[in-house]
Amino acid sequence: MSILIKGGHVIDPANKIDSVIDILVEGKKISRVAQNIQDKADQVIDASNKIVAPGIVDMHVHLREPGREDKETLASATAAAAKGGVTTVLAMPNTNPAMDCPQSIELLKGIINKTAVINVFICGTITKDRAGYELSEIDKLKKAGAIAISDDGSSVDNDELMSEAFKQAKQAGILVICHSEDKKLSGKGVINLGFNSTRLGLRGISAESEYKRVARDIGLAEKNLARVHIAHLSCKESVEIIAKAKQKQEKNVTCETAPHYFALSEDDIVDYDTNMKINPPLRTKEDVLAIKAGLEQRIIDVIASDHAPHTENEKEIEFERAEFGKIGLESGLAISVMELIDKKILSWKELIENISLFPAKILGINKGTLSIGSEADIIVIDPNQEFILEKKSIVSKSKNSPFIGKTVKGLVEHTICNGKPVYKYNNGIYR
């Protein structure tokens, strides 16, 4: 099969392309990138006035399968991803069973092969069952196919064990992704510690519980000359710590934030909306500005969704009993366009770097580019098309989005993955 994408504004930071140019896809791969391609193709996409970019690489996604198929499955999550313009995800390992041994990884690979419509890479755990007591066999996880390790959702409290993890990860040549949270400080907190937690009578989570652990994780990585990627930055101090660390250990420290940390603040937690209950929590307006500045100053490398589906039964309950987390695969691009492009924090080229090229580089995967010969993961976006994020149009099995009802901009019209159309606006998902 061949697809010709004609007349689109192609933004491919890897190849420094930012102009109107045509792309021809033949089979699984991009075969030509040139002006005015006249070749015949099975499908021609008129991309005039549209942006054509490498598919989004979302390096922080909870797929819930195996174990919690009531929340999400590989089939539903990857369909949601395709709708959101995401062609590659990194699956976080807090499944049941957790991705802490080759057998679990094989199990997940089987499900991916059967049901995924986009590329799914696997993150293994740092410790067995993510319990923080005994290291996983990191080299074996890597051999089984894991491309990173993380105890996401938890942090390894024991400094020596975490240091050993960095050491072994370096030997194995695998990336460590840190959920940096000191539980002794965050305790039973449910929202950011401050006036809002006081006003609402909810236990608070201090920024300190995050940034102190960020500093520790970076310190331990440095000690072992290992690479570290800090997940879901939410507060000003964390950005400052990363900025400093990057001056010293430039290539070894990377980080990500999520759209909700620049689009929402703790002040948006109205009427105890549990879709706003997220860990780390929504912070202050000042923190939101710091996250935006961190993106603008190119301190923050990646925007990832931290897609965390939960059923209504786990969400529409008492705030302190509700699960943490929100979905984000379908809304991430549009929220980023609204908050970062429209507000002139980032250019399109920079946004594409943050959501596609940089995460691919950090993960060491050959994605996030439109290079000739690379697998054709391409999205076509109408940058000016406004639409409303509606509950009824959510493809993900869970509907826990804090953005429902919001008018956004930047509509994904086509998603092509490995040369195959997987989503078209108004036509839905192709399997």
Partner 1 sequence: MLWTKKDLLGLEQLTREEINLILDTAESFKEVSTREIKKVPALRGKTAVNLFYEPSTRTRVSFEVAAKRLSADVINIAAETSSVRKGETLVDTGKNIQALKADIIIMRHNCSGAANILARNLDISVVNAGDGWHEHPTQALLDIFTLKEKLGKIEGLNVAIVGDIAHSRVARSDIWGLTKLGAKVILCAPKILLPVGIELTGAKTSSDIDEVLKKADAVNVLRMQFERDEGAAFPEQLEYFKKFGITQERLARAQKNIVVMHPGPINRGIEMSSAVADGENSVILEQVTNGIAVRMAVLFLVSQAKDIKK
- Which residues are annotated as catalytic? 306
**Residues counted in the chain:** 431
Question: Which are the contacts of 248, defined by CB distance < 8 A and separation ≥ 6?
Answer: 222
Residue 273 DSSP symbol: -
State in angstroms the smallest separation of the CB of 190 from partner 1: 9
Q: What totals of helices (H) and strands (E) does the chain contain, helices first? A: 14, 21
Greatest Cα pair distance in the chain: 65
State in angstroms the smallest separation of the CB of 182 from partner 1: 16
Which of 19, 198, 384, 407 forms a contact with partner 1 (CB under 8 A)? 198
**Residue 404 lies near partner 1 (rule: CB under 8 A):** no
**Residue 193 lies near partner 1 (rule: CB under 8 A):** yes
3-state secondary structure (DSSP) of residue 282: coil
**Residue 201 lies near partner 1 (rule: CB under 8 A):** yes
Question: Which are the contacts of 355, defined by CB distance < 8 A and separation ≥ 6?
Answer: 56, 57, 58, 302, 303, 332, 333, 336
Which of 52, 202, 218, 220 forms a contact with partner 1 (CB under 8 A)? 202
> Is 425 in contact with 413 (CB distance < 8 Å)?
yes
Residues 320-359 that bind partner 1 (CB under 8 A): 320-321
**Residue 318 lies near partner 1 (rule: CB under 8 A):** yes
Site stretch for partner 1 (CB under 8 A), options 68-76, 85-93, 196-204, 419-427: 196-204
State in angstroms the smallest separation of the CB of 127 from partner 1: 26
Which of 7, 97, 145, 194 forms a contact with partner 1 (CB under 8 A)? 194
State in angstroms the smallest separation of the CB of 192 from partner 1: 10
> Is 84 in contact with 330 (CB distance < 8 Å)?
yes
State in angstroms the smallest separation of the CB of 275 from partner 1: 12
Residues 88-127 that bind partner 1 (CB under 8 A): none
CB nearer to partner 1: pick between 319 and 348: 319
CB nearer to partner 1: pick between 13 and 189: 189
State in angstroms the smallest separation of the CB of 185 from partner 1: 14
Site stretch for partner 1 (CB under 8 A), options 242-250, 310-318, 383-391, 418-426: 310-318
Rounded Cα–Cα distance for residues 34 and 26 (Å): 14
- Give strand ranges (E) for 225-269: 228-230, 253-257
**Residue 197 lies near partner 1 (rule: CB under 8 A):** yes
**Residue 200 lies near partner 1 (rule: CB under 8 A):** yes
Count, residues near partner 1 per rule CB under 8 A: 20
CB nearer to partner 1: pick between 6 and 277: 277
How crowded is residue 387: how many other Cβ atoms within 10 Å of its Cβ? 15
Which of 195, 267, 390, 428 forms a contact with partner 1 (CB under 8 A)? 195
**Residue 271 lies near partner 1 (rule: CB under 8 A):** yes
Q: Is the peptide bond before 421 cis (omega within 30 degrees of 0)?
A: no
Site string for partner 1, 28-67 (x = CB under 8 A): ----------------------------------------
State in angstroms the smallest separation of the CB of 212 from partner 1: 17
At 17, which helix (H) or strand (E)?
strand 17-20
**Residue 319 lies near partner 1 (rule: CB under 8 A):** yes
Tokens for 366, please give them: 């050959």
Q: 103-112: list long-range contacts, CB under 8 Å, 24+ apart.
A: 104/66, 105/141, 105/144, 105/145, 105/146, 106/144, 107/66, 108/65, 108/66, 109/145, 111/65, 111/66, 111/74, 112/74
List interacting residues with partner 1 (CB under 8 A): 193-202, 204, 271-272, 313, 316-321
